[in-house]
Amino acid sequence: MRFKGMTLVASAVVLGACGGGEKAPEAAAPAAAPAAAPVAATAGTAAPITGTMHEVKMIGDAKGYRYEPAEITAKAGDGIKFVMESGGPHNVAFVASAIPAESKAQLDANFGTDKMGELSSGLKMNPGESFTLSLGGLVAGKYEFNCTPHLAMNMKGVLTITP
Ligand SMILES: [Cu+2]
């Protein structure tokens, strides 16, 4: 019996980019920096945001725990800024079995260094803290995500990337 087509997954310990950068200043939407040169996105390398920036609030209050909006439609190359609003800690963790398999390595790389596990952002504790995710290099499809601390409270969202 042989095992064919075993998937080689980039080692989780590879931390490509060096530190810095992720604690973005809370300035108003920075204009997308023009990419110096189109760089072929390879697994393990974060792809830049080149399109529209979307914003999703992470909320926990008397009405419950949720992302607002919980359904996002975007294009590859867009970015999503997840902003901690209340009731933290919150994070953004994609469900590996509920995203297009071809995008897994790129999506994981796009978390950069602000992560606490595969496809999972670091925790945002205080109002105003945020996590910005690039959708660069991702294929069209549905991407389900949830908040690790509040998964049992149904804090979930769905990202749809359109062609
Ligand atoms: Cu949460």
Could you write out the DSSP letters of every residue in 43-74?
TTSPPPP-S-EEEEEEEEETTEEEEESSEEEE
Please state the φ and ψ torsions of residue 101, each to the nearest 5 degrees. -60, -35
What CATH number is given for 53-162 in this structure? Answer: 2.60.40.420
d(CA 109, ligand 1 centre) in Å: 22
Q: How far is the CA of 52 from the centre of ligand 1 (A)?
A: 25
What's the gap in Å between 87 CA and the centre of ligand 1? 7
Cα 149 to middle of ligand 1, angstroms? 5
CA of 162 to the centre of ligand 1 (A): 26
Query: If you measure from the C-alpha of residue 141 to the centroid of ligand 1, how many angstroms do you get, rounded to a whole number?
Result: 24
Q: Choose among 15, 14, 33, 16: nearest CA to 24.
A: 33
Q: Which residues of 69-107 are buried (b: 16+ CB within 10 A; e: fewer)?
A: eeebebebbbbbbbbbbebbbbbbbbeeeebeeebbbbb
Can you give the pLDDT of all 163 residues of the chain as single tens digits? Answer: 444 444 443 333 334 444 444 444 444 444 554 544 444 444 489 999 999 999 999 999 999 999 999 999 999 999 999 999 999 999 999 999 999 999 999 999 999 999 999 999 999 999 999 999 999 999 999 999 999 999 999 999 999 999 9
The CA 155 to ligand 1 mean position distance, Å, reads: 6
Q: How far is the CA of 39 from the centre of ligand 1 (A)?
A: 34
Q: Are 61 and 127 in contact (CB under 8 A)?
A: no
Q: Give the SS3 label for residue 98.
A: helix
Q: Kindly give the distance from the C-alpha atom of residue 64 to the centroid of ligand 1, in angstroms, as a whole number.
A: 10
**What type of residue is 123?**
L
Question: At 68, phi and psi to the nearest 5?
Answer: -130, 115
Q: What is the pLDDT of residue 145?
A: 98
Cα of 138 from ligand 1 centre, angstroms: 25
Q: How confident is the model at residue 17, as a pLDDT?
A: 42
pTM (2 d.p.):
0.74
Measured in angstroms, how far is the CA atom of residue 36 from the centroid of ligand 1? 36
